[in-house]
Structure 1
Amino acid sequence: MHQLSRRGLFTVAGVAALGSTGALLGASPANAAVPDSPRFDLSGAGDNPVAKKSLHANWVMQSFAYDNVHQHLYFAQVNTENSDRANAGDLWITKTDTEGNELGSMALHNFGHGVSIAVEPYDGSVYLWTEWMSSSSGFGTRIGRFAFADGTVLEKTSSAVQDRTPSIGDTMINPQPAIDPSTGRLLVRYKTGEDQPRIVAFDLADARAGRLATQHRLAERALPSRGAWGAANPFQGFTAYGRYAYLLEGRAGGPSYISVVDLNGTGQSTVVDRWETTAGQSLPGREPQGMAVWMHPTGPRLAFGFHSNTGGVRQASVFVKTQFV
């Protein structure tokens, strides 16, 4: 771990929308409809399998995703207190069991903010998909895929990182990955301009192989613009289960919201818009952070997380919804 201290990772403890309808673009298969699926019921606070767990570093939890084969969790944490530009986009990855008990960790240097990550068990290894190639703002400009390796430091220039940024003709600002384990699809949320978010989906086998061009898209559509409300309630993560994408928004110390988008919908339509969740309301400094789908042995679960701060100790909590409407 000598590289880590040398590079200063330990210095702080712890679209232009394409048409007003937002319709899918191009010829088949990009126009293929997303198959129907049930939609998660958002009512109630939900179960709480990870409750106020400290992760590897005393940094802010930003997102998480499940290894649904081995039943593990991977959290991304960002150092929000280090203003040194050389450390913009530094992340810790903490591997845990499904109750949040640490099993390993890995450091990423100059990758991004960690807004959303994806986990892919494949061919005997576990691969992570994250923001990559951080800008001076600390947000990633591309998407990278790499194998998780406990106890290591990965530089953004490492040949171990595979560039898996879609090339579909759009301007792609702050691309963020998620994997739908129910369909085996990679989804990428990105912006083409200020407050112009979109989402695009690919078959995971295509994405793994780097086939991420226009002709490989399975679906694409606009996501809701939020204007001043969105600026006050920042985007905090997303995931997808079948036909529906779920978006998490909110600020520290304020209300938290989940919206539901039909991937077969058009324009900026939503199925459920700004549904306020009361999960974790007693958490000190509660801030929504991250969403994922957990393929639990008893059935799929929609998971969403919160960062909290108890007297300077930063912690992670995860709540889940288990029922469908």
Structure 2
Amino acid sequence: MAKPVVATIPRTERFDLRDESSRFLVKRKLADVKADGRYRSYVHQSFGFDHLNERVYFAGRKYGSDESSGDLVVTQMDFDGKIHGSMILDGLGHGSQIGVQPRGAGKAPYLWTEADPEVNDEGVAWGRRIGRFVFDDGGSVSTGDVEDHTPRIDGIHNVRPAIDPIFQRVLIKYNVRGEDGPFAQVWPLSAAGKRLDPRAAATGRIKLPSPNTQCQPSQGFALYGSFIYLMYGRPYGHNKGDHDDGRCEFPSRRTKGNTRILCVDANTGETVDTFRTRALRHLIYREPEGMAIWPAPNGSTPQPRLCFGFASGLANRRLASIVYKDALA
């Protein structure tokens, strides 16, 4: 019996991870503040770009909320770092990945996030579904309000999206109960009118690399063309007591941290490159947080940029930074 044909994405160029990183936004405040007006914010978890309106959207836990609540706040910021709005996501998840899908100049974009969370053994809410909704400045949304675009895969959970705005695709990273994940699969955005059907996917399912999450937890991912980019790492000063068996590298300003970026073939799951980045190594705390593709202006053809972020500053007053690489190999 013939095996079913598995769809593949035509091979594209990939980002040169050894290209020097350029700064985009550095140490920017987010929208979350206390009632008395004093700045308070947890780390951002993820971000994404609406290049048609020159806006970047950050997602993170709402200040004062418990990690089990899944309550998030989205900050809308322009490309100069000025805040233009915010939105509350009630009980949607951890915010570890946000996808931004532009809808046109002058229109608010679609936001893709996790939804319908469950609380894990560490007391953290992680989404079991994928939701899409239009950003509404000053508004709020809950799981019951979002479009459901969860892939039709039995046992799926811990589901997270990333948008490729250049090739108009969406990458879904997920786990399956009883299987050794995580996994990833790519769909064309044109298939996003309803729940994602594996038969309409642009690629087959691949297994992603999974480093020791105690040493280097997943901190974001992005899709550009036929390659997936994954970021792992801990902040400076992460508690040595968590790793007293000596197997984990202790990240510090002296060692310039342990943040690493992997490049993975979206068709095969093969790791084709890995790189330890020391970008913004001067930051206080410096926790890697978030990845996204930014189609930067470049005449008639946007220039793709692989962006990755860091949280910095003092506890409960975290700041957001983004750097990028744009050389292709």
Pair in the same fold by TM > 0.5: yes
Alpha-carbon distance, 1:311 to partner = 6.2
Closer, same or farther in 2 for the Cα pair 1:322/1:312, shift >3 Å? same
For residues 71-93 of structure 1, the C-alpha deviation after alignment (integer angstroms, 9 at most, x for no partner) is 210100114764375xx111000
Q: Assess if the C-alpha contact under 8 Å between 1:45 and 1:278 holds in 2.
A: no
User: Is 2:68 aligned against 1:67?
Assistant: no
The counterpart of 2:184, out of the listed 199, 208, 223, is 199
Distance in 1, matches of 2:207 and 2:214, equals: 15
Distance in 2, matches of 1:134 and 1:201, equals: 22
Distance in 1, matches of 2:20 and 2:27, equals: 16
For residues 1-47 of structure 1, the C-alpha deviation after alignment (integer angstroms, 9 at most, x for no partner) is xxxxxxxxxxxxxxxxxxxxxxxxx845xx22211211101115411
Distance in 1, matches of 2:232 and 2:180, equals: 14
User: Is 2:219 aligned against 1:219?
Assistant: no
Distance in 1, matches of 2:323 and 2:276, equals: 14
Alpha-carbon distance, 1:156 to partner = 2.5
Distance in 1, matches of 2:64 and 2:276, equals: 29
Closer, same or farther in 2 for the Cα pair 1:287/1:45, shift >3 Å? farther
Alpha-carbon distance, 1:291 to partner = 0.4
Letter in 1 for 2:205: R
The counterpart of 2:130, out of the listed 136, 139, 143, is 143
Distance in 2, matches of 1:231 and 1:225, equals: 15
Letter in 1 for 2:187: F
Superposition TM-score, scaled by structure 1 size: 0.83
Closer, same or farther in 2 for the Cα pair 1:226/1:81, shift >3 Å? farther
User: Is 2:236 aligned against 1:261?
Assistant: no
Closer, same or farther in 2 for the Cα pair 1:312/1:162, shift >3 Å? closer
Stretches of structure 2 lacking an aligned partner (at least 5 in a row)? 33-40, 237-250, 252-257
1:1-325, aligned counterparts within 5 Å? 27-28=4-5, 31-57=6-32, 58-79=41-62, 82-83=65-66, 85=68, 88-122=69-103, 124-136=107-119, 137-158=124-145, 161-167=146-152, 169-193=153-177, 196-207=181-192, 209-226=193-210, 229-253=212-236, 254=251, 255-266=258-269, 269-273=270-274, 275-298=275-298, 299-310=303-314, 312-325=316-329
Distance in 1, matches of 2:229 and 2:271, equals: 10
Letter in 2 for 1:213: D
Distance in 2, matches of 1:120 and 1:97, equals: 16
Closer, same or farther in 2 for the Cα pair 1:34/1:96, shift >3 Å? same
Closer, same or farther in 2 for the Cα pair 1:311/1:270, shift >3 Å? closer
Alpha-carbon distance, 1:177 to partner = 0.4
Alpha-carbon distance, 1:240 to partner = 0.8
Alpha-carbon distance, 1:133 to partner = 1.2
Stretches of structure 1 lacking an aligned partner (at least 5 in a row)? 1-25
Alpha-carbon distance, 1:68 to partner = 2.1
Distance in 2, matches of 1:120 and 1:203, equals: 12
Q: Assess if the C-alpha contact under 8 Å between 1:195 and 1:226 holds in 2.
A: no
Aligned-pair identity (%): 37
RMSD, aligned α-carbons: 1.9
What secondary structure does 1:232 align onto? coil
Letter in 1 for 2:229: Y
Distance in 2, matches of 1:149 and 1:80, equals: 19
Partner of residue 36, structure 2: none
Distance in 2, matches of 1:155 and 1:33, equals: 35
For residues 31-73 of structure 1, the C-alpha deviation after alignment (integer angstroms, 9 at most, x for no partner) is 2221121110111541111100010011220000001221210
Q: Assess if the C-alpha contact under 8 Å between 2:230 and 2:262 holds in 1.
A: yes
Letter in 2 for 1:272: D
Distance in 2, matches of 1:223 and 1:272, equals: 16
Runs of 4+ aligned residues of structure 1 deviating over 4 Å after TM superposition are none
Partner of residue 18, structure 1: none
Distance in 2, matches of 1:107 and 1:94, equals: 9
Closer, same or farther in 2 for the Cα pair 1:171/1:231, shift >3 Å? farther
Distance in 1, matches of 2:80 and 2:24, equals: 5
Q: Assess if the C-alpha contact under 8 Å between 1:27 and 1:215 holds in 2.
A: no
For residues 291-311 of structure 1, the C-alpha deviation after alignment (integer angstroms, 9 at most, x for no partner) is 000000121110000111236
Aligned residues between the structures = 288
